[in-house]
């Protein structure tokens, strides 16, 4: 036995699946900057009175007891919001956890999972953890979805799951409800539609749940609902599929604090109306203003962020990213390593001041150099 493998054996690392050891893992470097526009969070915190009420409710409850086995009040409020059967609702510690649960109950070694390219990297990462086969379907050159290709690829590869992210992260592109319906009816895979950014644009595939039994819709409290720090998301599907996905979900995955906060937010949706409108307006303003800058090509987005390509002249994407952060304290996301996104950066819509700071710093860097 070679020394390296002896070392691997002693450390136990040789027990880790090769499919996992090959992966880079999901990672985001911490950075403390005044203007943080790199994670598509809402810049608007929840209203102070709502936060206080939730804190008081949680303080009044015993912390030594587990949460209810099913967070029924929250599940009921979600079912009411969508007019669906509560038995088809699952809540998660962020929608990430539910993506994981869906893939855990579907992906066997070698099974094909069809995903857009480029998209949120977690779908491919979790598929590979389960030794599935990621089959990417590229977006068009203008980064719009070519929906028909998904059905074709799903049939050819006999895929078990198709993931559609709409609006898509990091491009902001959308798939219509009719296209989701055709994909469902034209294949026999599970169709998972990740609607993390739906409040900002695009059509709700959730309205198809009654007629599309293999449809699974994912939603989150982390973006439009301003609760990223508390970790809450949910899944909508048929009661039959929900019962199976629930088997891969940890018991008591939603803590009592998150459950109460999510319920409070659903009961006070007016707290969210204005921020969502403001973020859509900020996104459109970012698009319009970037479009006027030479050397920058923004893509139309239906989400709360804008993707843009930076020409090499006068300042390349890496230099623009670095100078925004180091000279102006504005942190955005470098997505240039994604397939098809060479030279691309993504900026989240911020509040008025943050959006101003990003736009004016970008102008200064491009025009001043
Ligand atoms: N889906 C997409 C497309 C995302 O971009 C994100 C977060 N960046 C998530 C799901 C996960 O959201 P959460 O776990 O916070 O609900």
State which of 267, 302, 333 marks the end of a domain.
267
Instruction: Compute the distance from residue 96 Cα to the ligand 1 centre, in Å.
Output: 6
Domain annotation covers residue 123: yes
Segments forming the whole domain that contains residue 360: 31-45+271-368
The pLDDT score that the predictor gives to residue 2 is: 55
Domain annotation covers residue 304: yes
Instruction: Compute the distance from residue 49 Cα to the ligand 1 centre, in Å.
Output: 27
Domain annotation covers residue 14: no
Residues 239 and 307 grouped into a single domain: no
Domain annotation covers residue 184: yes
Compute CA distances 323 → 316, 362, 363, whole Å. 11, 9, 12
Strand runs (DSSP E) across 227-283, as ranges?
A: 233-236
Q: Which tens digits make up the pLDDT trace of 96-109?
A: 999 999 999 999 99
Residues 105 and 152 grouped into a single domain: yes
Give dist(CA 184, CA 197) in Å, integer. 21
Residues 198 and 85 grouped into a single domain: yes
The pLDDT score that the predictor gives to residue 3 is: 60
- In this structure, the residues whose C-beta lies within 6 A of any atom of ligand 1 are 40, 94-96, 120, 165, 169, 194, 196, 220, 222, 228, 233
Whose structure tokens read 């169709």?
191
Instruction: Compute the distance from residue 10 Cα to the ligand 1 centre, in Å.
Output: 37
> Which residue puts its alpha carbon closest to atom 6 of ligand 1?
196
Pocket test for ligand 1, best of 193, 223, 231, 236 (most atoms within 8 A of CB): 223
Q: The tokens of 212 are what?
A: 């599309």
> Which residue stretches of 224-351 are H helix?
239-245, 256-267, 270-291, 317-328
Pocket test for ligand 1, best of 42, 169, 218, 232 (most atoms within 8 A of CB): 169
Q: Is the peptide bond between 279 and the residue preceding it cis, with omega within 30 degrees of 0?
A: no
Pocket test for ligand 1, best of 92, 93, 94, 304 (most atoms within 8 A of CB): 94
Domain annotation covers residue 148: yes
Low-confidence ranges of the chain (pLDDT < 50): 1
The pLDDT score that the predictor gives to residue 92 is: 97
What torsion, rounded to 10 degrees, do the Cα atoms 220, 225, 231, 233 define? -20
The pLDDT score that the predictor gives to residue 101 is: 98
State which of 249, 267, 285 marks the end of a domain.
267
Domain annotation covers residue 306: yes
CB contact at 8 A, 180 and 193: yes
Domain annotation covers residue 55: no
Q: Which tens digits make up the pLDDT trace of 197-233?
A: 999 999 999 999 999 999 999 999 999 999 999 999 9
Residues 96 and 233 grouped into a single domain: yes
Q: The tokens of 230 are what?
A: 């508390």
Residues 209 and 332 grouped into a single domain: no
Q: What is the pTM of this model?
A: 0.96
State which of 267, 298, 324 marks the end of a domain.
267
The pLDDT score that the predictor gives to residue 364 is: 96
Compute CA distances 101 → 123, 196, 231, 243, 291, whole Å. 11, 16, 15, 11, 40
Residues 110 and 246 grouped into a single domain: yes
Question: What CATH number does residue 294 fall under?
Answer: 3.90.1150.10
Structural domain count, the chain: 2
CB contact at 8 A, 37 and 307: no
Give dist(CA 147, CA 144) in Å, integer. 9
Domain annotation covers residue 146: yes
Whose structure tokens read 């409108």?
277
DSSP one-letter code for 130: T
Q: Which atom in ligand 1 lies closest to the alpha carbon of residue 39?
A: 8
Residues 109 and 194 grouped into a single domain: yes
- What SS3 state is found at 138? strand
């Amino acid at each position: 036995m070679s020394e390296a493998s002896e070392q691997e054996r002693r450390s136990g690392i040789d027990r880790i699946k090769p499919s996992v050891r090959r992966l880079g893992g999901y990672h985001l470097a911490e950075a403390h900057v005044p203007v943080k526009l790199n994670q598509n969070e809402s810049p608007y915190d929840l209203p102070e009175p709502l936060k206080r009420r939730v804190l008081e409710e949680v303080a009044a409850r015993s912390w030594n007891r587990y949460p209810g086995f099913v967070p029924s009040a929250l599940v009921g409020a979600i079912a009411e919001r969508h007019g669906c059967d509560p038995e088809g609702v699952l809540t998660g510690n962020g929608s990430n956890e539910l993506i994981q649960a869906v893939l855990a109950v579907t992906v066997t070694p070698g099974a094909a999972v069809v995903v857009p390219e480029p998209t949120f990297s977690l779908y491919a990462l979790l598929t590979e953890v389960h030794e599935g086969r990621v089959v990417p379907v590229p977006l068009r050159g203008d980064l719009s979805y070519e929906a028909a290709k998904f059905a074709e690829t799903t049939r050819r590869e006999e895929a078990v799951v198709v993931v559609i992210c709409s609006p898509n992260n990091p491009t902001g592109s959308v798939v219509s409800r009719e296209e989701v319906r055709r994909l469902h009816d034209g294949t026999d895979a599970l169709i998972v539609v990740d609607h993390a950014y739906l409040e900002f644009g695009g059509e709700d595939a959730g309205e198809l749940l009654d007629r599309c039994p293999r449809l699974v819709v994912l939603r989150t409290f982390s973006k439009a609902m301003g609760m990223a720090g508390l970790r809450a998301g949910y899944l909508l599907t048929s009661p039959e599929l929900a019962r199976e996905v629930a088997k891969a979900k940890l018991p008591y995955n939603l803590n009592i604090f998150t459950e109460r906060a999510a319920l409070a937010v659903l009961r006070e949706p007016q707290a969210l109306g204005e921020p969502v409108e403001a973020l859509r307006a900020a996104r459109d303003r970012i698009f319009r203003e970037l479009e006027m800058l030479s050397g920058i090509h923004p893509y139309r987005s239906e989400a709360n962020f804008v993707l843009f390509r930076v020409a090499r002249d006068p300042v390349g994407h890496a230099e623009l990213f670095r100078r925004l952060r180091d000279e102006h304290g504005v942190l955005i996301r470098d997505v240039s390593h994604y397939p098809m996104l060479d030279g691309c950066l993504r900026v989240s819509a911020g509040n008025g001041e943050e959006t101003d700071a990003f736009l004016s710093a970008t102008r200064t860097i491009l025009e001043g150099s």
